[in-house]
Structure 1
Amino acid sequence: MDDDPWEPPSVLLAVDLVILTLRGSRLHVLLVERGIEPFHGALALPGGFLRDHGEGLETAARRELAEEAGLVDVPHLEPLGVYGEPGRDPRGRVVSVAYLAIAPRLPEPVAGTDAAGARWEPVSDVVELAFDHLQILTDGVERARAKLEHSSLATAFCGETFTISELQQVYEAVWGVQLDLRNFYRKVQKAQGFIVADGPTRRTQNGRPARLFRAGPVHVLYPPMVRSAQS
């Protein structure tokens, strides 16, 4: 029988953030260039360790977001997942709680603390990140795509009034697919309360009139905008 007293394992707790927005017609993620080891000079998601036992997880996430990228007005952060595989961080056993935010019209980041740089990067251009951040990003993008299936989030990326084509462009950017306009319109119309007609038509770039809509009263779409039926 082992009589040695039990000691708690040495585990560090961290937070990582997947911050997504649309810039132009592409889905972008906020990345920082690491200014310290490990992975000095590599791109990574913003994040870091909790300061002490009195700091909450979301408080730490918002602090790191402000310190590393200068973003202080990011809206609702939602828990994305917990990542704790052995070897994910060469500094020791590190468990990270990841958060996700998907928001329109986010400003340019400003690097600070241990970040040598910060920028918005098209998600489709990201092929390598430090630690296991590529997996965390992949999970965050999939969550964002699912949210567009089941919620009215896409309308937040449009103007106060918008055309069906403009709404479609949001779905195409986040889902990473091209959609058939007629099929997309039918699906939108079936989701009761998703959008409502608003005012006169608008001339599009090709000179044709397009009907205007605005966000409807519902936040949960039924039936959902299922990707497999759209692509």
Structure 2
Amino acid sequence: MTLSSSSRSEPSIRVAVSTVIVALRRHPDTGAPALWMPLVRRVAEPFEGLWALPGGWVQPDEGLEASAAARLRETTNVQPRYLEQLYAFGDVDRSPNRVVSIVYWALVHQDEASSVPEDWNVRWFLADEHPPLAFDHDRIVEYALWRLRNKMSYSRIAQAFLGDRFTLAELRGVYEAVLGRALDPANFRRQVEKTDAILPTDETTSGDRHRPARLYRSNPDLAYADNGPLQQGKKPKNR
């Protein structure tokens, strides 16, 4: 017997957004820059009490990026300057109810990270040492960190972690934290100065025991990453 279209049971699929927020903060043991991310404790089933990525439902009147930005403001108070769509996760068994998650990542510098309220249900964790997460968020975080480490070799994405002015040592610290290995300072300087990704300023550091270091800024004509033809005509989110 063939069911008519009116009697056939149609699957119900909901669309959500989640965001992997990554910031550079000091490691509690070594003091060196390390990757951290804020997580949100779930207050309802499924997975009540477990930590998860910040996110929520896409509202009917919102675009995907607008929805991701709105859910970030609501859950963590973060308003990042760098927000990029990462991937779509839609395995049938990833949630008790069929949910497709459009995942973004937000790379934030220290000033933006300081807006996250740390309390009983929002907390910062080392990106590589976080507790087990709800749903398939462990897999999402693993993928996000893999993508970030790969992008370091062909984009200017490292600068998204820094403020308006930074030293070459601070920029090198970003690369070392993301890649998980030390870099030769002289070779790093030569490689960076060959590019047009950063521009020297007439300013130097002051107020510390070390010799003043020149400050650099991001090239305002270049975006942190080339996101393809859909981004053409948009102004870079750089400073």
Give TM-score, length-normalised by structure 2. 0.75
Show structure 1 runs of 4+ deviating over 6 A: 203-206
Report the equivalent of 2:92: 86
3-state SS of 2:124 partner:
strand
**2: distance between equivalents of 1:220 and 1:126?**
30
2:83 is aligned with 1:77: yes
CA pair 69-156 structure 1, distance change in 2 beyond 3 A: closer
Report the equivalent of 1:108: 115
Report the equivalent of 1:46: 54
2:193 is aligned with 1:189: yes
Report the equivalent of 1:11: 13
Q: CA RMSD in A?
A: 2.9
Contact 2:167–2:216 (CA<8 Å) still a contact in 1? yes
Contact 1:14–1:97 (CA<8 Å) still a contact in 2? yes
2:16 is aligned with 1:30: no
Superposition deviation, residue 117 in structure 1 = 0.8
Q: Deviations over 1:189-217 (max 9, x none)?
A: 332x1233333765797745644433345
Superposition deviation, residue 28 in structure 1 = 1.4
CA pair 215-68 structure 1, distance change in 2 beyond 3 A: closer
3-state SS of 1:139 partner:
helix
Matches within 5 A, 1:147-186: 147-186=151-190
3-state SS of 2:71 partner:
helix
**2: distance between equivalents of 1:108 and 1:216?**
26
Superposition deviation, residue 123 in structure 1 = 0.7
Contact 2:107–2:160 (CA<8 Å) still a contact in 1? no
3-state SS of 1:37 partner:
coil
2:71 is aligned with 1:68: no
3-state SS of 2:128 partner:
helix
Contact 1:32–1:45 (CA<8 Å) still a contact in 2? yes
**2: distance between equivalents of 1:160 and 1:50?**
32
Contact 1:70–1:111 (CA<8 Å) still a contact in 2? no
Aligned partner of 2:217 among 214, 219, 223: 214
2:111 is aligned with 1:125: no
The amino acid that maps onto 1:89 is S
Q: Deviations over 1:163-195 (max 9, x none)?
A: 32221001112222221222222221332x123
Contact 1:194–1:219 (CA<8 Å) still a contact in 2? yes
CA pair 69-153 structure 1, distance change in 2 beyond 3 A: same
Superposition deviation, residue 130 in structure 1 = 0.8
Contact 2:54–2:76 (CA<8 Å) still a contact in 1? yes
Q: Deviations over 1:129-175 (max 9, x none)?
A: 11101111122223333443333333343454433222100111222
Contact 2:203–2:214 (CA<8 Å) still a contact in 1? yes
Give TM-score, length-normalised by structure 1. 0.77
Contact 2:52–2:134 (CA<8 Å) still a contact in 1? yes
Superposition deviation, residue 220 in structure 1 = 6.5
Identity of aligned residues (%): 39
**2: distance between equivalents of 1:15 and 1:154?**
24
Report the equivalent of 2:2: 2
The amino acid that maps onto 1:64 is R
* Range with greater deviation from structure 2 (15-24 or 137-146): 137-146
3-state SS of 1:28 partner:
strand
For structure 1, the 5+ residue unaligned runs are: 222-231
